[in-house]
Every structure is written in structure tokens, then in C-alpha cells.
């Protein structure tokens, strides 16, 4: 099992809520809001406010997750050679890459990024960040559910901790 999946399965249901449900629900709120705003042509109102508040919250929230996992998982696993294979590294790495688009959304919504651009240009960048987050999150989920040793050649299995060569 990858460390990504182990993290989500440990301390049920709290880790699943903290590391998956909260960020994904907020990101999906933003994505659905983006579609609504695109189709209605509105740049103000309750849905825009909901999207903006969700964007600021998820960006800062995920920054906290990133910092926490960097120091409690990534650095210790790297220094102790504790990764379980390339799929494990990809899953955790892509999960943490979610910080870039999510924090970008927060900075946009706080007018700290691209503030001199037109609203249309800011909306485009906002939508791009949402799309990038969806891609990296899905890559993390796919590799997180994979066997962490799936990319190892049979002869390499004997070098992995806890693995024996048949």
C-alpha cells in the first residue's frame, strides 16, 4: 500500500476528512462555481463570493497540509529510504503538488496575484488553476491506489524492504 493510501486509511474517518474530503469539497465548490459563473456571465453575487471564500480557505488550508506532510512524512521517508516504490513517490508528490494551484487560487482571490489584469484574464487563470488541481489530484489518487512496487522489475523486488524474491 502507498503511504498516500495509508494516510487516508489511518485514524478513520479523521485523516480521510482532513486530507481528502475538506480540500476536495472546497475545490469542487470552486469548480462548480466556475461553471456557473462562466455560463451566467456573472462576476458578482453569492456564487462568486462562495467561490472566493472557498478559494482563500482551501489555499491556506492546503498550505498547512503541505507543511505538515513535508516535515512528518516526506523528509523522514526520504532520509530513511522509506519510500515503497516509484508509485508511492508519485502519489505523495502529486498530492503535494496540489499546493501550487490551490495556493494560486487563494492568492488570486485575495488580489495578491495578477491584480492588475482584467477580470476576464483573472477568471481564465482561476479556471486554469482549478483544472491543474484536478489533474494533479487525480494522478495522486490513481497512483495512491496502485501497488507501490508495480514499476519494479522482478529482480528488483529482492532489494525492497519486506519483499522476498521467489
113 within domain boundaries:
yes
The string of pLDDT tens digits covering residues 101-125 is 999 999 999 999 999 999 889 999 9
Q: Write out the residue range of the structural domain in which residue 93 sits.
A: 3-150
pTM listed for this prediction: 0.88
Query: Within a domain: residue 166?
Result: no
| 161 domain-assigned | no
Q: Is residue 159 part of a domain?
A: no
Residue 160 is assigned to a structural domain of this protein: no
Residue 165 domain-assigned? no
Assigned domain for 124 exists:
yes
Domain count, the chain: 1
Is 106 inside a domain boundary?
yes
What is the per-residue DSSP string for the chain? --HHHHHHHTTTTHHHIIIIIHHHHHHHHHHHHHHHHHHH---SSHHHHHHHHHHHHHHHHHHHHHHHHIIIIIHHHHHTT----HHHHHHHHHHHHTHHHHHHHHHHHTT-SSTTS-HHHHHHHHHHHHHHHHHHHHHHHHHHTS-TTTTS-GGGGGGSTT----
Per-residue pLDDT reduced to its tens digit, 66-93? 999 999 999 999 999 999 999 999 999 9
Amino acid at each position: 500500500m502507498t503511504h498516500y493510501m495509508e494516510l487516508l486509511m489511518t485514524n478513520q474517518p479523521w485523516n480521510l476528512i482532513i486530507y481528502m474530503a475538506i480540500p476536495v469539497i472546497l475545490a469542487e465548490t470552486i469548480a462548480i462555481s466556475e461553471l456557473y459563473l462562466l455560463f451566467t456571465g456573472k462576476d458578482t453575487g453569492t456564487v462568486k463570493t462562495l467561490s472566493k471564500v472557498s478559494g482563500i480557505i482551501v489555499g491556506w488550508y492546503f498550505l498547512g497540509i503541505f507543511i505538515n506532510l513535508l516535515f512528518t512524512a516526506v523528509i523522514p521517508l526520504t532520509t530513511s529510504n522509506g519510500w515503497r516504490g516509484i508509485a508511492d513517490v508519485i502519489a505523495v508528490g502529486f498530492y503535494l503538488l496540489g499546493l501550487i494551484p490551490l495556493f494560486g487560487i487563494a492568492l488570486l482571490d485575495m488580489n495578491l496575484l495578477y491584480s492588475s489584469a482584467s477580470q476576464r484574464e483573472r477568471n481564465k487563470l482561476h479556471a486554469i488553476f482549478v483544472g491543474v488541481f484536478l489533474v494533479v489530484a487525480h494522478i495522486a489518487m490513481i497512483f495512491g491506489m496502485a501497488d507501490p512496487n508495480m514499476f519494479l522489475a522482478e529482480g528488483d523486488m529482492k532489494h525492497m524492504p519486506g519483499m522476498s524474491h521467489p
